[in-house]
Amino acid sequence: MLRYANNYQDRYGNGIPGALVSVTSNETGLPVTIYSDNGVTPITNLVTDALGQFAFYVADGDVDITLSKTDTTTTSIRDVTIKNPVAESALASTSGPGLVGCINPGAGAVATTLQAKLLEGAVTPQDFMTTAQRNNVAAGLGTISVVDAFEKALATGMPVYVPSASRKYLFDRQLIVPSNAVIFGDQAQIYLGNGVNQHVFRVATNADNVEIRGLRIDGTKASNTASMGIAIDGGSSIRVLDCYIKNCSAAGIYFAGATLSGVRAMNNFVTGCVAGGITANDTVTNFAFNENSCWLNGTHGVGIIGIAKHGMICGNACWDNGQGTPNADNITGYNVANTSVTVSNNSCKGGLNNSIHMGGQYMVVTDNTVYDPTQYGIVMAANTGICKGCTVGNNSVFGAGVSGYWFENCTTGSVNGNSSCDNTAHGFAIDGCIGLSFGSNSASGNGGDGFRNGVASSFLTFNGCTSRANTGDGIELGNVTDSTITGGNFSGNTGWGVNVSGTEARNIIGMNTVRGNTAGQIAQPNVSTRVTDNETGVSRTVASAAALILPPGGSYFYITGTTSITSMTASFPERMVTLQFDDVLTFTDGGNLNIAGNYVTAFKKTITLICDGSSWVEIARSTN
């Protein structure tokens, strides 16, 4: 503060003592605080001394001074400028902010300087630009490279803020982002120059604790090759958030390196990138690729092309990816070494290959919506070997160019609560699986079978599944052994309700509703397969024939006609049936009929038999 001194005199030059001195702001007219020292002791009532003199300290500014006393003319001194030229010069210097005090209004706040507060904030690339660079960026031209300014800003170790969505920043080489760097913006536009053939951003090898957030990045793929939007090579705690990345001649966001963990790609929009939207190569652990939108990228939308362990791919929207060569999936990751990856709540449309293709150990694919892929909707199949302990649940697939779901070489997993509708081939295709449990899945309107097994599978469980209005069978148990199909509804299909083929054997088909299928309800299975307690609506009336064929289910049949019977098609062991006759014929002892002598029937006579898997043995006969 400066000290101001003056005196109050009459017209003869005599001092006027005891006059009141008032000091007000020239700008607002309000009183200003004056002090008797350098800003410590305020003066509440200033009057002139015996010689008419007065003095005070006051902060820099323009003030008005009023001197008044009874029976004396009031005098005003206006537009008094209080300024310390030395202090002004000091404040204008580079160290000036260090001279300005600063304190937070909160209780217990500690005083500091403006310089210290600034150092707690962020720098901008503009802090290091030439006038020409600044003007070029501000005008939205983006024709002068400013990557050097970004490098200098990052070198400070402070967060780097890239201002304004309307400004354009040109890079004539890739920007290396070091450990502990934060670079963020409000969708400022960053372009890669023509013919650079490098990445736009490259995180330093094995960097730690890096965040890139809120930027628009254009890889200018028409004039660059092998250029990624953001490339990461190893490291940990690396975050790419809220960025819009487009037109890269390689991947949009690329994670690689043998020591890659704790990485995040979240809420980004990636489109038009030749080698995929978001890609993880080598080995990535403890990762989250969530809430991203990937659209019209050359290969996958979100892709694990190396090994992934303990991560999440959730809440993404992936549309029409796989546009390049080779065609890839909207979401992909099927290395057999993948472990504990959750793919959930994604929305996938179109694409020139599969929509979601995962594989590995203990993988989880749940609550996804998939429609109109060129190939399969959801695939669980590793690049080699077996998928173990995988869960596929509550997904919805429709309009796939092949089948809705495909499971290949999977063991001890669960497939529950999924729907598969209006796909070109099958609802659920199964090959070479062991111990999979299918519960409460539904298949309808598919161009093939609702559920179909091709390559030999065993120990499968189908419980409470529904298959209706498919062009093929409700369920085709081709080459299936030691499996259970219970509590389902397989009705209204063009083929069989439940069909069997190949090496099918030792299965249980029970307590299902199988009705209204065009080809038939339950096809005759292997004699080792038990068919019990199904509701088929099939007539229990069977015409007599020398080789009598009974339906695969049921225990009581009405035999019409007079053709003598010499054999019956064998059924599963312990199957018991009762035949009631309508007319006279001979039920002949011999062949696979082991009865107590020939039985000449008549109206309402019955015979009860039990099968041992090849022959029928008489239990009782009655003459009613």
All structural domains of the chain, each given as residue ranges with its CATH number in brackets, are 2-83 (2.60.40.1120), 90-119 (no CATH), 121-275 (2.160.20.10), 541-622 (2.60.120)
- The whole-angstrom separation of Cα 508 and Cα 485 is 6
- The whole-angstrom separation of Cα 289 and Cα 310 is 12
The 3-class SS string of 342-370 reads: EEECCEEECCCCCCEEECCECCEEECCEE
Q: Which residue has the tokens 């054997």?
A: 505
Please tell me the predicted confidence (pLDDT) of residue 227: 96
- The whole-angstrom separation of Cα 62 and Cα 47 is 21
Please tell me the predicted confidence (pLDDT) of residue 109: 77
What are the start-end ranges of the E strands in 150-252?
A: 160-162, 168-171, 175-177, 182-192, 201-203, 208-218, 230-241, 244-246
Please tell me the predicted confidence (pLDDT) of residue 116: 72
- The whole-angstrom separation of Cα 46 and Cα 4 is 13
515-538 burial string, b = 16+ CB within 10 Å, else e?
bebeebbbbebbbbbbbbebebeb
Please tell me the predicted confidence (pLDDT) of residue 117: 67
User: DSSP secondary-structure letter at 36?
Assistant: S
* Regions of the chain short of the pLDDT cut 70: 86-92, 117-120, 325-326
CA distance to 59, 95, 113, 232, 579, per residue, from 91 (Å): 14, 7, 12, 43, 112
**Distance, CA of 405 to chain centre:** 19
- Residue 341: count of CB within 10 angstroms of its CB: 25
Asked if 173 and 199 count as a contact pair (C-beta separation under 8 A), the reply is: no
pLDDT digits (tens, 9 = 90+) for 37-48: 988 999 999 999
**Which residues neighbour 83 within 8 Å (Cβ) at sequence distance 6 or greater?**
2, 60
Asked if 165 and 216 count as a contact pair (C-beta separation under 8 A), the reply is: yes
Please tell me the predicted confidence (pLDDT) of residue 467: 98
Q: Work out whether strand 466-468 and strand 442-444 pair parallel, antiparallel, or are unpaired.
A: parallel
Q: Which residues pair with 106 in a beta bridge?
A: none
Please tell me the predicted confidence (pLDDT) of residue 327: 74
Please tell me the predicted confidence (pLDDT) of residue 91: 67
Please tell me the predicted confidence (pLDDT) of residue 292: 98
Asked if 140 and 167 count as a contact pair (C-beta separation under 8 A), the reply is: yes
- The whole-angstrom separation of Cα 462 and Cα 445 is 19
